């Protein structure tokens, strides 16, 4: 009996030790993965060096000051202001709106690169200061006000979104689980508000692949087009339903037989099945398809009834940029940050 009690006690101690080790291993991983995501979207790639220095740099570049608290709380605060639309639109929402207003298209490039290119395009040179101040100056240059005309919009279920493949869909080269990237091909407006912008990315997942064989066996690829990024950065659940299929039938008439085999499988867990009788499924990059929203969703959109002359208000923009430059104080940072 004493041996059994000792064994149970030892097992309990080992279990606690294992749990503690797992928690200790999990926390750094969570810190690293979230930090890497923010750096990828900000600078174009994950940074190297001490964690504190990397967090300091992000806080300096976005806010101009350093926070206190744990590593995770500081990263969470950065994540909140960059990605989350709550009481105010996120930084990425504002940046997407400005980029669309300038180029009528958004991109997936890093914040640092996008801000610099838009400053050069609008103001003739890159600005100085935090990303938030530089984005505010760009907003004034583009919209005529630093407050972007953002409104909450109820997007109905089955709203159609035209997309263009970024990843080619070829049955010979795909396997189940592969990611298919695509981008929004045309702007989508709801009640005069832009909710999906041309250039926004989405991701689908290959759920079935069957090669074409002799004797008339069709090649078959099934793709779940499940996540499409809206203008405000929200990933919206999308799929190929009956409305999308009808639109693609019209596309097939103009695009040729490559789209004629698109079919809808369902009704539960609807995915897109591309069927080409007697030969390989081969949809090259740039092939246009239609998807639709799966359920009603509330998103932030940009009201498009603003003054059309606002993008050309360069004088106001230059004044705003000068004021912004004057507010920036490099002395609050040390070299390590």
**Domain boundary assignment for the chain:** 2-83, 91-149+309-332, 153-301
Q: Whole-angstrom Cα distance, residue 319 to residue 293?
A: 42
Domain 153-301 has CATH 3.10.50: no
Q: Whole-angstrom Cα distance, residue 94 to residue 169?
A: 33
What would the pLDDT profile of 203-213 be if each residue is shown by its tens digit? 999 988 887 77
Residue with tokens 């969703």: 297
The first and second tokens of residue 86, run together, are 């709550």
Q: Count other Cβ atoms within 10 Å, centred on residue 100.
A: 22
Best-predicted range by mean pLDDT (110-114, 226-230, 278-282): 110-114
**Could you tell me the pTM of the whole model?**
0.72
pLDDT of residue 245: 84
Beta bridge partners of 183: 164, 201
**C-alpha dist (Å) from residue 26 to 37, 52, 75, 165:** 17, 18, 16, 36
Residue 202 exposed, middle or buried by CB count within 10 Å (0-12, 13-18, 19+): buried
pLDDT of residue 128: 93
What would the pLDDT profile of 305-336 be if each residue is shown by its tens digit? 654 333 333 333 343 444 444 443 332 333 33
Least confident of 130-139, 248-257, 291-300: 248-257
Q: In this model, does residue 18 exceed pLDDT 80?
A: no
Which positions ≥6 away from 120 have C-beta within 8 Å?
Answer: 126
Q: Whole-angstrom Cα distance, residue 37 to residue 22?
A: 22
Q: In this model, does residue 272 exceed pLDDT 50?
A: no
Q: In this model, does residue 300 exceed pLDDT 50?
A: yes
The pLDDT-based confidence of 215 (bands split at 50, 70, 90) is low
pLDDT of residue 262: 52
């Amino acid at each position: 009996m004493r041996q059994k009690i000792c064994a149970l006690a030892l097992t309990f101690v080992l279990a606690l030790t294992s749990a503690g080790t797992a928690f200790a291993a999990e926390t750094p991983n969570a810190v690293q993965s979230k930090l890497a995501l923010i750096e990828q979207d900000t600078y174009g790639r994950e940074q190297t060096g001490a964690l504190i220095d990397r967090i300091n740099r992000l806080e300096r570049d976005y806010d101009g000051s350093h926070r206190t608290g744990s590593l995770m709380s500081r990263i969470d605060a950065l994540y909140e202001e960059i990605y989350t639309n709550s009481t105010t639109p996120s930084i990425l929402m504002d940046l997407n709106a400005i980029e669309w207003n300038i180029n009528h298209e958004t991109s997936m490039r890093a914040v640092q690169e996008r801000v610099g290119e838009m400053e050069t395009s609008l103001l003739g040179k890159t600005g100085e200061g935090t990303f938030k101040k530089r984005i505010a100056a760009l907003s004034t240059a583009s919209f005529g006000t630093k407050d972007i005309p953002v409104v909450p919009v109820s997007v109905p279920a089955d709203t159609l979104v035209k997309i263009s493949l970024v990843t080619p869909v070829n049955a010979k080269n795909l396997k189940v689980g592969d990611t298919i990237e695509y981008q929004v091909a045309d702007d989508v407006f709801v009640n005069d508000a832009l909710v999906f912008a041309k250039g926004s990315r989405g991701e689908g997942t290959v759920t079935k692949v069957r090669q074409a064989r002799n004797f008339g066996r069709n090649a078959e690829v099934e793709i779940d087009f499940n996540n499409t990024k809206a203008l405000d950065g929200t990933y919206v659940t999308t799929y190929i339903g009956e409305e999308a299929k009808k639109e693609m039938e019209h596309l097939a008439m103009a695009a040729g037989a490559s789209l004629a085999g698109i079919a809808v499988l369902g009704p539960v867990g609807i995915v897109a099945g591309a069927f080409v009788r007697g030969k390989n499924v081969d949809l090259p990059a740039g092939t246009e398809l239609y998807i639709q929203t799966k359920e009603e969703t509330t998103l932030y959109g940009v009201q498009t009834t603003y003054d059309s002359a606002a993008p050309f208000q360069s004088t106001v923009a230059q004044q705003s940029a000068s004021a912004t430059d004057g507010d920036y104080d490099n002395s609050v940072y040390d070299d390590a940050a």
